[in-house]
Structure 1
Amino acid sequence: MVSSAVLAGLAFMFSASILLQILACAIYGNWWPMLSALMYVLVPMPCLFFGGGTTHFLMSRDGGGWISAAKFLTGASAIGSIAIPIILRHANMIETGAMFIEFTSFFIFVCTVLCFHRASLDDDW
């Protein structure tokens, strides 16, 4: 079982990521960067639907149609989280500062997911 201190740290990191997401929109008065928050919702869905709610299958070499589909969808939604701010900046719909705040938010979000994955691998049960 993951300790309560680890869970509190993960909750803080996730909250900081969402705060940066909102700040990227609020500081520049433009809510287009919230499109990448949609991708934050889509990233864990393949794990929930195809991986049985765990992240263990992402690091395995096991194949199979559904496992491969889950790995592809996870990767595609993660790349979409990076691509959306770049596309919006290229179309001059958001400012450069908002794009970099989005990247920072995504970096913290990815660190949170990796820390959760590492903590769940250390489970004894």
Structure 2
Amino acid sequence: MSDLPGYMRFCLNTGKLLSLAILVSGGIVLQILACVLYNNWWPMLSVLTYVLLPMPLLFFAGSNDSIFSESDNSWVNFTKFLTGASTVGGIAIPSILKHAGVIGWGAFAMELSSYFVFGLTVICYLWMGDEDEYSIL
């Protein structure tokens, strides 16, 4: 991509950011629709996991260690554990609410769809992070 003119790279990068913004907006809309359409606000409980998910990465993962590599550092391993627990919670909370009869099948499907849209957004962001312009991680 380095052989493209500057204006072309700018347009492509803007398009990538725009697609990420659309994916995040779609996930938020699905999350809110799961509550509004069925007049039940219990599905918003899973938003807690979306807020807590990046916290271990922000607090415990050092900038020198990669989260995807094998490490003997106990803080990095603890970070991986907390991130995994938060990720499982994103699926577990709607499943428990459905099993308890608090939400219906439609709200459950929208909750899981919202979770997978957010997951797709994170995967796309990490894919974009491999390029030089977005090397935040």
Task: Quote the residue 1:15 is aligned against.
Answer: 25
Whose Rg is larger?
Answer: 2
Task: Quote the residue 2:40 is aligned against.
Answer: 30
Across the two proteins, how many residue pairs are aligned to each other?
Answer: 123
Task: Quote the residue 1:62 is aligned against.
Answer: 71
Query: Equivalent residue of 1:69, what SS?
Result: helix
Q: Structure 2: which amino acid aligns with 1:25?
A: C
Q: How does 1:1-125 map to 2 (within 5 A)?
A: 3-52=13-62, 57-123=66-132
Q: Residue 62 of structure 2 contacts residue 76 of structure 2 at CA under 8 Å; is this kept in 1?
A: no
Identity percentage over the alignment?
48
Aligned mates of 1:96, 1:53 — CA distance in 2: 42
Q: TM-score, normalised by structure 2?
A: 0.82
Structure 1: unaligned runs, 5 residues or longer:
none
The Cα of 1:53 is off from its aligned counterpart by 7.2
User: Greater CA deviation, 58-67 or 11-20?
Assistant: 58-67
Higher relative contact order (CA 8 A, sep 6+): 1
User: Greater CA deviation, 57-66 or 88-97?
Assistant: 57-66
Q: Residue 25 of structure 1 contacts residue 32 of structure 1 at CA under 8 Å; is this kept in 2?
A: yes
Distance 1:63 1:122, change over 3 A: farther
Distance 1:52 1:9, change over 3 A: farther
List per-residue Cα deviations over 1:38-68 (Å, max 9, x = no partner).
11111111221123579x8331112311101
